[in-house]
Structure formats: structure tokens, C-alpha cells
Amino acid sequence: MKAVGRTGRAVLSTYFGLLVVFLYAPLVVLVVFAFNAGNIPSLPIESFSTKWFSSAFSDTTLTSALLRSFLIAVVNGLAATLLGVMAAVSLARRRLALRGVVVTLILIPLVVPYIVLAVGMVVLLHELGIATSLVAVLAGHVVISLPYSVLVILPRLRTLDPSISEAALDLGASELRAFWFVTLPLMAPALFSSFLIAFTISFDEFAIASFLAPPGSPTYPVVLYSSSRTPALLPEVIAIGSIVIVLSLALVVLAEVARRTAERRIEARTEAPPLTAG
């Protein structure tokens, strides 16, 4: 049995190591080639240089698309989280008419291919006489981000002790004030996670943006795809991509630290002994 256990651990360790290499080796290669002075990303590397970074930031098309995607992702994160809170509060109620239908409607974007949703939105906008725009892109991103927000926020809401908000109501607070000052702060880690997930989904999304973004205002993934097919622009794309990777890793680390800090503070507040009269 011990031999079988050691073999199983060895197999799992090997599998995990290969998985890590498969996931992160392309990122490391991309960062390394961002400093390649040559026009073609190939080995051996001629020399190291940072010229492609300055060239990339001089490309207004690339930088404008990057900023455009960032702003859309921020608004999408806020909107999806807000709607996720509203949906989670409704689903957490003991009595909700047509609960199964509501859950299905919220979660259905998880199983619908983005390309199908994009085509459907284009047809709908055309029938309504509405031109493609960045607002339409944002609306599509909110639709596909909402299920993830609900799946993150709802479990956190259900783990909260209802007696905490009930105590606030007994002390004279209205339902809105009890939710705003008691329930919402306890949901902070889930809200931050929801925002981060929705932000990432929007920033990386390609199919919906490629159909709904207006001419002359592409998002970063659309520009990235079109530029990667042009050899002359490939080094600039790699340089910007390496910056996005480093910032993404830093954001993930900071988010995890902030989440753990917030959870420790919440646990300390909820576990604090009640004050007693002397």
C-alpha cells in the first residue's frame, strides 16, 4: 500500500509539474522574446534590447486599443458585480417565484458559445436599427460575466449568519441600511473576486468585440489578433503582451493578499467577544 501511495504521489507530482510547464512556459518565452533585438522571434536571440517597448508605445493604434479595453473591462467589472449582487440577494431568498427559470436565464451564457452570442447580438442590433458600438461590446461582456459574478457572490452570501443583519434590524436600522453597513462589508472578498473575474473576462474577450466593436475603435484582443498576422508588427505585440503578463501576475498576487487580509479582518470582527456591562 505504501508503494502504491508513493507511486500515486509521484504520478500526481509529475502531472502537476507538466501542467505548470504547459501553462507558464509560453508566458516565459513571450517575456524573453520581448527583449529580442531581432525582427523575428527565433532562437538564438541576437541581442537584448528594449527598443520594441518604445516602438509599441509609439503605436497609437495599439495603445488606444489597450486603453479602450481597460476602460471597458473596468466598467464591465463594476456593472457585472452590481448586477451579481442584486441577483444573488434575490436568489438567496427563501421564497422566489420561478427560481429554476431565473437561475437558468442567468447561467445560460456559460453554455452558449461566444461566437453564437456575438452573431445573435449583431442580428438583433441590425433589426433594431442600432449601429455597432463600444456600448454594445460592454453589454455583451456584462451578459457573459454576470454568471461568474453570481457564482462567486451567492455562495458567500449564503454563508453569512442571518442573525447579524437581524440584529441590525432590531436596533432600528432599515433593511437598506442593514444591507449597506452590515451585509455588504462582509461580502467584500467575494465582491472583489467578482470584479477581478469580470475584468479579466472582458479584457481578454475577442469574439463579441470583433463583431460589435465599431470600425476604427477595436479592442486590444482584436488589434492583437490582426497585428500578430503582420510580421512587421509582431515584435511590438510581443512587447505589449509581456507587459500585460507582468501586470496580470502582479494584480493576481495583490488581489490574493488583499482578499486574505479582508477575510482575516472580517473573521476578527465576527469572532470578537461581545461587550458586557461591568
Using DSSP's 3-state secondary structure scheme, residue 34 falls into: coil
Note if the pTM is more than 0.85.
no
Segments making up each domain of the chain, as ranges = 60-270
The pLDDT of residue 4 is 59
In this structure, is the dihedral angle defined by the CA atoms of residues 94, 98, 103 and 105, taken in order, positive or negative? negative
What is the per-residue pLDDT across 59-99, written as a single tens digit (0 to 9) for each? 788 888 889 999 999 999 999 999 999 998 888 877 777 77
Q: What is the largest CA-CA distance in the chain?
A: 78
Q: What is the DSSP string of 45-56?
A: P--B--HHHHHH
For the stretch 175-180, contacts whose Cβ atoms lie closer than 8 Å and that sit 24 or more positions apart, written own/partner, are: 179/89
Contacts of 226 (CB under 8 A, 6+ apart): 218
Q: How many CA atoms lie within 13 A of 219 on its CB side?
A: 26
Cell numbers found for residue 243? 507587459
Report the DSSP beta bridge partners of residue 36.
Answer: 48
* Parts of the chain with a pLDDT under 50: 275, 277-278
Predicted local distance difference test score (pLDDT) of residue 195: 92
Determine the pLDDT at residue 278: 45
Instruction: Determine the Cα–Cα distance for residues 206 and 199; give it in Å rounded to an integer.
Output: 14
- What confidence score (pLDDT) does residue 216 get? 85
Architecture of domain 60-270: Orthogonal Bundle (1.10)
